[in-house]
Each structure stands twice: as structure tokens, then as C-alpha cells.
Structure 1
């Protein structure tokens, strides 16, 4: 019979067991931590490895300047997203095996503009059948839009890939493209499936032989393959134009945005990973648009909300040489100016669009309103427009230098004339008029001359305004007959 252990021995053994349990618990905690971190790194490496990188910088040649911002301040971002119609890897030949010329086209072309303050996102659709100037040889840095040729838009991708599309966009619009992304058919299908399908709404029965797709009137949740057929239907709906297809695609993207930002996805890590895995597998981007940059961009727009995302199509008209093609209207210039200047669209008419209350210029304003004298000229022919604008400026501290009536049609939108020495003061005035165009004119003296034409936006509050009195209610608008029609991503998909 073994002797009874002494109290000291029992206490020592108990302490040893406690230490062992603590060590085991510590080892388990470390193991869990290592496993968790390892899983994070595995996920990062997996998603990052999915993305194809393509450096097109050497062929771009001369590029537009970016908006000047103070050091450390956020800047607006422009991302060109192209949908490649490559059929590889989609598991079906229903949409054809290849394009006639060989290689892929980019039938979907989107410029995604994120405002510097990350309060607005604008998605611009460029019609595939647009006839525009384009570089003759996209691989030659010296071949530009200016010395190029007329080409149908979706052939740019076929002839020179993403670099050719970027050169054409920048050359035509003066907009600097910070990043690009190409998504192919396969990725589109897989992303929709990863979301558990996407809801669509059609007001008519669809029976399209080309896409081998049928759908009855009403709301439906579509799988990836079905959704691909839905967004590609063209000839059997409406007038069969690409413009109607773009409207349907914008409604579909609105539905995707609503689905992808819902808590249902965020609360399902498996589904979220599947969505990100599908997205990155089909993605080709510039070398700087990696997961770290994407994560940073995503974080910066985390509070944006779908109601602050707008879709708009480049305004077009029939192309004289071929009535099956389109050309951009002159009113497209106002769209490009709004993106370049990082201001809201002039006179847009989107459903459920929030009212703009202020704008945040890319560069901080340096001249206060009470140090600026403004003269307002009404070139719109809309009675009372200038006086209404003057009231909105006065409550912010601007000094009113009088009113005048100009020639109707002499300007479109808002044109602000100023002496070169008054450029900083003119920027403060321009912050009050979304989409305004600044022009140097030494004849105006020390007064900032504001000309309000058809399509001019009503004034908003400037960041450095004087006083807190609210702006008066503005009931007069200078509606442009070619007002940009926008779609808000938060509106009902059946609208």
C-alpha cells in the first residue's frame, strides 16, 4: 500500500495540473489564433491569386491631368469597367463560340466615378454602337484620338484591349482613368450564383431566340446563366436597340447592388467568400488595383448607400452615315465636365434622387463668399432664374453686384467668367453651381460674372459659406430639353 502523499505533495501536483491545463489552453488559443490568421492569409492569397494583372501604361501616351488636391486629402476616383464577351469557360455555346473578328469585344463599358468625399457614385454607360474618334494604332503611344479615325466603340477592346479603351475614353473626355477592370461572362454567371440569384422585373413576356431565353412578365429571381441571357436580350424587346438593353442592365446592376450590400450577404461568410472568389476569378485589372486597393476603396464607400449611386447613359443621337449606329450629343460635354470637376450632374432627373445641399471641391476653397462680388445674367429665358439664384448666394455671404438678361441660348448650363487674378474667388462661386464651367475673361473686372443658361443647376451651399441661414426654397428650374436621365440604384427595380 502506497503511503498517503503529504499535503504539500498534493498541492504541488494540483498546481502542476493547473499549469498543464493552462499551457494546453494557451496552446489551443495560440493554435486557434494561428489557424485564424492563417485562414485570413490563405483567403487573401487565394483571392489575390485569382486576379489577372495587365500593365497597359506603356501604350497610353499623353494623358489628362488629375484634379489637384492638397497633400493627404482624398481624391475622386474614376474606374473603367469593361464586360468582355469572351465565351471561354462559361459552359455553354448558346451565345456563340467567338466574335466574327476573333477575340473579344467589350459590349458593356462603364465609367465608375467616386466623388472625393465618397458621398456620391456615378456609373456612366457608354453605348457599344457609339461611333467616335479613336486611335488608329492603340499599341503606339503616339497614336491618339486627335490623329485617329472613326470607329465603333466596342471594336476598341477587340483591336487593343483595355489600353485602347482607356486611350479612347481619356482622349475624348479629358477624364483621367485611375484604374480599370475587365469582367468576363464566366465571372458574371458565378457572381450571380454566389449571391443566390438576383431579382429582376420585366413588364413584358420575353421570348428571345438569339439568347435562347424566355421569361414571363413580373418579378423573378434568376440564376447566373439565366441572368446572362436576360441582360443580353436586345432585338425582341422595345425597339431592339442597345440603348434599351443598357436601361435593363442598369436596373439589373441596381438589383445586384441592393443584393450585394444587404445584411444577408454580410452575415454569410461562405456566400461572401464565394461571391469574392467568383468576382476575382474573372477579373483582369491594372497592377495597382489589387485586393489592398480594392479593400481601401470599399472601406471608403462603406457609408455610401445605394441611394447615392446613380446610373446614366451617354446622351446619343442617330449617326448620319449609318442609322443603326449612334453618335454622342453635344450635351455629353456637361456629363464629362461634371466628372472632371467632381460635381453633381447638371439638371439630372433620377427617381428618388437626394437633393444636393453642398459640394466638396477636390481642392479646399481659399476665398470666403463675403469677399466676392457676383453679377448674375439670365441667359436661359426662364423668368426669375437669376433673382432666385441671387437669393441663394446672398444668404451665404456673397455680395450681389446686380442682375442682367442675356441672349437666350448663348450658353448652356452655368458659365462663370472671371479675370485670371480672380481664379480662386471664381472657384468659390463655382462650388455653388454644380457643373459650372470656368472661363477667364479680363473684361469683367473684379466682379465674378455668372451666366445661367438652359440646364443650369440651382445653387447649393458652399463649404466655406458665411452664416447658417438655410438656402431659400427654389421652385424655378432651367430645364434642358436634353436633361440627363438618371437611375438611382435604390429605386424599385420595376421602375
Structure 2
């Protein structure tokens, strides 16, 4: 069984990438964790001098109003569950990013449920693959019109059609987990965050050459800037079998490298740099109203001061090829149900789920 510091993912074969448009921007994998770590540092020293500027950077949505009362019950009252999305819109500030302008559309090509158990010393991040076929509940479309429930739709299409509130509603329906908070990070924000840190160092065992993402790295140690980091977490064709799910290992590696970078730099001792990181972080974030101010984010950050990044476990939702469309995946049962049950009840992820995974 993997240790708490292991990165694990389901071993069922990854679905081949979608054809047209399948190589669009993917994940800003788990960036919220190290974003929050940077914001925690703002609560000390003289950082509050920048309060007004940072507070005005944030955007928020009122999930309670949009979702209404028909939601799962919160079983583990001391735990917290956060839905994290990475949006891939490449209009506006994102237009110049890899893949070009998409005409203003956006997809939630990164999605995970970050579960923080009672005690706040560890965390489990459950990634939901973008190509997973799900049943979308009845929602309101982006244009305000009713959007009826639909079966066998691709998970990341929900954000495009109906926006973040419907994504939260969809995740709650498929998992039974009540989502406490919502955090969205865009591509441009991801790139700026890395640059504000001065780059992130990663070490590769094998050469990666991917003409689609523009990533060309020899085996060895590299210091990646924001543009290179974005290509790194998006690369697919240069690793493994070229599937969309195959890149998850690199994204998890990058997450841990970034956490190490935040710890190494000791931002508390450099208020100016802490401000630059926080400015990039807050400009890149959209949250629910419960986290929609710098004060609320800082209070939340202080509640996580006991969270050790070494005790973060990343798990991919167990999936299998869809029998009708091999370019899509579906939740693998009974492993998926057991995983969600453990999250709901704030218990350890079952051995039967972990034993069907392999460590990177």
C-alpha cells in the first residue's frame, strides 16, 4: 500500500485522447493548494498594507443562492471539501497561451475534489478526468435558459454550457459529497504564479519532446518558467501512451515541486515577493462567496497552517474505458463508490481502492 507521500492513480487503461480539440489546454493541477500556502504567509509580517489591492483582485460567485437547498448532507462536520477547477478559456488574457484563441469558450479541463479531514493536517485530492461520461443534473445554462438533465455527457462540457454552479451540482450528484468551497484558476493565472515564484525546479528521468505543447526537455534537472510550466502540465504526446490521462503523473510531480519551492523560499521573510505571489494568486482566482475576500481567504489559510504538504495524497477517480465510446471513460465500480464513501465519511481511502493503483 502506498505511503501518505505517494502519488497514486488508477491502473485501468487511459482512454485515448479526443480527436478534434482534444489537445486543448488541460490542467492547472491542484494549484489552489500552493496558492493558499502563499496567502497564509500574507497573514504575518507587514503584508496587510496591500489588503485593498489584493482584495479587489478577487472574483466570487454565490453558490448557496445558485444551488438552493437540494444538496447532499454534510456527514463529517469537521472535514472540508473544496472543488477546484482549472479553466482553459483562451480569449482575453489567455489568448496567447498554447493552443490559441478558442473564441471565448472555456472548459473545466482540470477538476478535483480536495478533501481536508478533521484536524487539518493532511489532505486527499481526487482528480476527475475531463473525458469522464456523467449524468448532468438539471441546471441553468449560461444564457439563463433551463438546461435539462442529460445522460452520458462529458464532464468538462458542463462548465462550458452552464458554468461553475452546475459543475458543483454535478460533482455533488455523482459523489454524494457536499462541496464547502469552490476555487477556479485560469491558465494565465497559472503562468503568472510560477513566474512570480521565479520558476519551479523539476527533475526528469526521461526526455520529453512534444511538438503539440512545445515542450522539449532532456532528462535531468530543469528550472521552468511560467510558459514552460504550462507546457509541462499540459504535455501528453511526449509521455507514456499519449493518452489524456497519461499526463497526470507529470502534473502530480509538478505540484510537489511547487510546494517544495514555496517552502524553500520562505516568503514570510520577503514581504515584497510575498506580495507579488499573492497578487498573481488573487488575480487568477474565482471563488465562492465564502472565500470571496482576502480576509476570508486569510482566515481559511490560518485554519490550514497545520497541513503538511508531505501529507497530501493525490488519487485519480477510478475509471475504465466506456464500452460504447472508447475515447471516453466511465467511473469504475465498485472502486469509485468506495472512494466517494470514504470522502463523505472522512475515513481512510479503502485498501481495495489503493491496491488497484500504482505509485509513480
TM range (shorter): 0.7 to 0.9
Confirm whether residue 63 of structure 1 aligns to residue 66 of structure 2: no
Confirm whether residue 336 of structure 1 aligns to residue 344 of structure 2: no
Q: In structure 2, what is the Cα distance between the partners aligned to 1:51 and 1:137?
A: 25
Q: In structure 2, what is the Cα distance between the partners aligned to 1:141 and 1:64?
A: 25
Per the alignment, residue 23 of structure 2 pairs with none
Query: Does the 8 Å CA contact 1:59/1:138 hold for their aligned counterparts?
Result: no
Offset, 1:41: 4.8
Structure 1 runs of 4+ off > 6 angstroms? 140-144
**Unmatched tracts of structure 1, length 5 or more:** 1-36, 70-74, 348-454, 456-479, 488-494
Residues 253-293 of structure 1, C-alpha deviation per residue, up to 9 Å, x if partnerless? 11112222335333222221111110100111111113223
Query: Does the 8 Å CA contact 2:61/2:289 hold for their aligned counterparts?
Result: yes
Confirm whether residue 115 of structure 1 aligns to residue 149 of structure 2: no
Q: In structure 2, what is the Cα distance between the partners aligned to 1:111 and 1:325?
A: 20
Residues 409-451 of structure 1, C-alpha deviation per residue, up to 9 Å, x if partnerless? xxxxxxxxxxxxxxxxxxxxxxxxxxxxxxxxxxxxxxxxxxx
Per the alignment, residue 84 of structure 2 pairs with 81
Residues 283-322 of structure 1, C-alpha deviation per residue, up to 9 Å, x if partnerless? 1111111322322222222122122111110011001111
Per the alignment, residue 329 of structure 2 pairs with 326
Which one is further off, 279-288 or 50-59?
A: 50-59
Q: In structure 2, what is the Cα distance between the partners aligned to 1:151 and 1:131?
A: 5
Which one is further off, 181-190 or 291-300?
A: 291-300
Aligned-pair RMSD on alpha carbons?
2.4
Query: Does the 8 Å CA contact 1:195/1:265 hold for their aligned counterparts?
Result: no
Greater RCO (Cα-Cα under 8 Å, separation 6 or more): 2
Offset, 1:249: 0.8
Residues 445-492 of structure 1, C-alpha deviation per residue, up to 9 Å, x if partnerless? xxxxxxxxxx3xxxxxxxxxxxxxxxxxxxxxxxx6x725376xxxxx
Instruction: Give the 3-state SS of the residue equivalent to 2:290 in structure 1.
Output: coil
Q: In structure 1, what is the Cα distance between the partners aligned to 2:195 and 2:275?
A: 12
Residues 183-234 of structure 1, C-alpha deviation per residue, up to 9 Å, x if partnerless? 0011101111111111123222222222222111122110001100111111
Per the alignment, residue 357 of structure 2 pairs with 485
Q: In structure 2, what is the Cα distance between the partners aligned to 1:192 and 1:262?
A: 14
Per the alignment, residue 240 of structure 2 pairs with 238
Residues 8-29 of structure 1, C-alpha deviation per residue, up to 9 Å, x if partnerless? xxxxxxxxxxxxxxxxxxxxxx
Query: Does the 8 Å CA contact 1:312/1:486 hold for their aligned counterparts?
Result: no
Q: In structure 2, what is the Cα distance between the partners aligned to 1:267 and 1:40?
A: 11
Q: 1:180 aligns with which of 179, 182, 188?
A: 182
Instruction: Give the 3-state SS of the residue equivalent to 1:82 in structure 2.
Output: strand
Q: In structure 2, what is the Cα distance between the partners aligned to 1:143 and 1:340?
A: 28
Per the alignment, residue 475 of structure 1 pairs with none
Per the alignment, residue 26 of structure 1 pairs with none
Confirm whether residue 305 of structure 1 aligns to residue 308 of structure 2: yes
Query: Does the 8 Å CA contact 2:122/2:308 hold for their aligned counterparts?
Result: no
Per the alignment, residue 27 of structure 2 pairs with none
Q: In structure 1, what is the Cα distance between the partners aligned to 2:181 and 2:323?
A: 34
Q: 1:170 aligns with which of 169, 172, 192?
A: 172
Per the alignment, residue 193 of structure 2 pairs with 191
Q: In structure 2, what is the Cα distance between the partners aligned to 1:322 and 1:41?
A: 53
Distance 1:141-1:270 versus aligned 2 partners, 3 A rule: same
| Rg larger in structure | 1
If the length of structure 2 is used for normalisation, what is the TM-score? 0.80
Query: Does the 8 Å CA contact 1:127/1:246 hold for their aligned counterparts?
Result: no
Distance 1:76-1:133 versus aligned 2 partners, 3 A rule: same
Distance 1:98-1:172 versus aligned 2 partners, 3 A rule: same
Instruction: Give the 3-state SS of the residue equivalent to 2:230 in structure 1.
Output: helix
Offset, 1:57: 3.3
